[in-house]
C-alpha cells in the first residue's frame, strides 16, 4: 500500500518551454502533497505544499508563477515548470500524505529528472 507514482520519470525540454510533472497516489487518497527539488549531490528542498482543492503554499524564495502547482483531486497533483531554463534542471520529487494516516507519514514518488537544454 501507499504507492506514489510520478510521470514522466525523465524529461528533456528546450529553454523557454513549459513542462508538466504529475504526481499520483495510486492506492490512497492524498489530502496533502509536497513538491521537492533536489540538485545533484544536494539535499531535498521543499518547494511547496499543496492541499486538495486549495491553493498551494510556497516556500520562501520559490516563484509561484514559475512553478505552478495544481492539486485538483485527492489522487493527483501537478507541477508545471513554466518558461524553463537550464538552471531549472534538477530532480523533482513529490510526496503525499493520506487522509487516514498519521500526521507525519509521507510517501515519496520516484522522482522526475528534468533537463533543460
Contact residues toward other proteins (CB under 8 A) are 32, 34, 41-46, 49, 57, 91, 93, 97, 103-104, 106, 108-111, 113
Q: How far is the CB of 26 from other proteins (least distance, A)?
A: 14
Cα three-residue angle 70-75-76, rounded to 5 degrees: 30
Name the minimum Å distance from CB 53 to other proteins.
16
Nearer to other proteins, 13 or 91 (CB): 91
Rounded-to-integer distance, Cα 105 and Cα 56, Å: 19
Q: Single out the residue of 26, 21, 13, 27 nearest to residue 50, CA to CA.
A: 21
- Written as nine digits, the cell of 109 is 514518488
| Nearer residue to other proteins within complex by CB, 77 or 109 | 109
Residue 72 CB, shortest distance to other proteins, in Å, is 20
Query: In this complex, which beta carbon is closest to other proteins, that of residue 9 or of residue 18?
Result: 9
Shortest Å distance, C-beta 7 to other proteins: 14
Q: Which residues contact 42 (CB under 8 A, 6 or more apart)?
A: none
Strand order across the 76-81 sheet: 4-7, 19-25, 76-81, 67-73
Minimum CB distance to other proteins smaller for 53 or for 110: 110
Amino acid at each position: 500500500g501507499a504507492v506514489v507514482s510520478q510521470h514522466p520519470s525523465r524529461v528533456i525540454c528546450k529553454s523557454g518551454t513549459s513542462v508538466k510533472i504529475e504526481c499520483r497516489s495510486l492506492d490512497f487518497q492524498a489530502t496533502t502533497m509536497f513538491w521537492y527539488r533536489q540538485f545533484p549531490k544536494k539535499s531535498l528542498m521543499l518547494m511547496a505544499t499543496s492541499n486538495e482543492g486549495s491553493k498551494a503554499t510556497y516556500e520562501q524564495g520559490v516563484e509561484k508563477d514559475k512553478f505552478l502547482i495544481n492539486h485538483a483531486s485527492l489522487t493527483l497533483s501537478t507541477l508545471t515548470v513554466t518558461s524553463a531554463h537550464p538552471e531549472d534542471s534538477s530532480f523533482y520529487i513529490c510526496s503525499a500524505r493520506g487522509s487516514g494516516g498519521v500526521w507525519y507519514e509521507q510517501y515519496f514518488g520516484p522522482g522526475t529528472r528534468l533537463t533543460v537544454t
